[in-house]
């Protein structure tokens, strides 16, 4: 098995031809389409500042994760490396999980959280989240249900 840092060490290859426009960028259009994440993440943070001040400062985390998702996705499509794939997928999963945790109504919170997003569940939720985030490095298909749910 090639190094996780090596170009094209990922098993995933999208439909775009590789290294067509540059010897350093594997998928040119997929790579540079992620620039929008660097524009809209900070722009949303700036435009939504009054809302964030009134509601929840956790939204800042969401916008930082949005920008980080763009960075990792850019790295993955630039190199098609296994590490890039894992960072891209984990960033997307953490962005989705953060969005759900911020906007989920309190009546749907699990009872062990005690009607608080960070409540009593913190000591058990954080290690579980870390474990579930890094376990797919050993078995990459474990991320697939979170990223591409079955529509049926």
Residues 27-66 have pLDDT tens digits of 999 999 999 999 999 999 999 999 888 887 788 888 999 9
Say if 66 falls within a structural domain: yes
60: its two tokens: 């800042």
Higher pLDDT, 132 or 96: 96
Task: Determine whether the annotation assigns residue 18 to a binding site.
Answer: yes
Count the Cβ atoms, other than its own, within 10 Å of residue 98. 18
User: Residue 126: which residues within 8 A CB-CB, separation 6 or more?
Assistant: none
pTM of the model: 0.75
Confidence at 3, pLDDT banded by 50, 70, 90 = confident
Say if 4 falls within a structural domain: no
Domain assignment of residue 123, given as a range: 28-147
Say if 7 falls within a structural domain: no
139: its two tokens: 């078995």
pLDDT for 67 beyond 70: yes
Task: Determine whether the annotation assigns residue 30 to a binding site.
Answer: no
Give the chain's mean pLDDT: 79
Task: Determine whether the annotation assigns residue 16 to a binding site.
Answer: yes
Say if 6 falls within a structural domain: no
Task: Determine whether the annotation assigns residue 131 to a binding site.
Answer: no
Phi, psi at 87, each rounded to 5°: -65, -40
User: Are the beta carbons of 67 and 45 closer than 8 angstroms?
Assistant: no
For residues 78 and 62, what is the distance between their CA atoms, to the nearest angstrom?
24
Split into its structural domains, the chain has a count of 1
Say if 97 falls within a structural domain: yes
Say if 1 falls within a structural domain: no
Higher pLDDT, 3 or 37: 37
Task: Determine whether the annotation assigns residue 14 to a binding site.
Answer: yes
């Amino acid at each position: 098995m090639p190094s996780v840092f090596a170009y094209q060490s990922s098993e995933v290859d999208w439909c775009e031809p590789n290294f067509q426009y540059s010897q350093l960028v594997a998928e040119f259009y997929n790579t540079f389409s992620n620039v929008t994440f660097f524009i809209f993440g900070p722009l949303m943070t700036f435009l939504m500042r009054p809302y964030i001040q009134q509601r929840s400062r956790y939204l800042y985390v969401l916008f930082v994760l949005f920008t980080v998702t763009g960075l990792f996705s850019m790295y993955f499509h630039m190199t098609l490396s296994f590490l890039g794939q894992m960072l891209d997928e984990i960033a997307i999963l953490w962005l989705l999980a953060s969005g759900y945790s911020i906007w989920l109504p309190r009546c749907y919170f699990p009872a062990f959280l005690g009607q608080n997003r960070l409540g009593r569940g913190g000591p058990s939720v954080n290690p579980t989240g870390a474990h579930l985030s890094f376990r797919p490095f050993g078995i990459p298909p474990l991320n697939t249900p979170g990223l591409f749910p079955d529509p049926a």
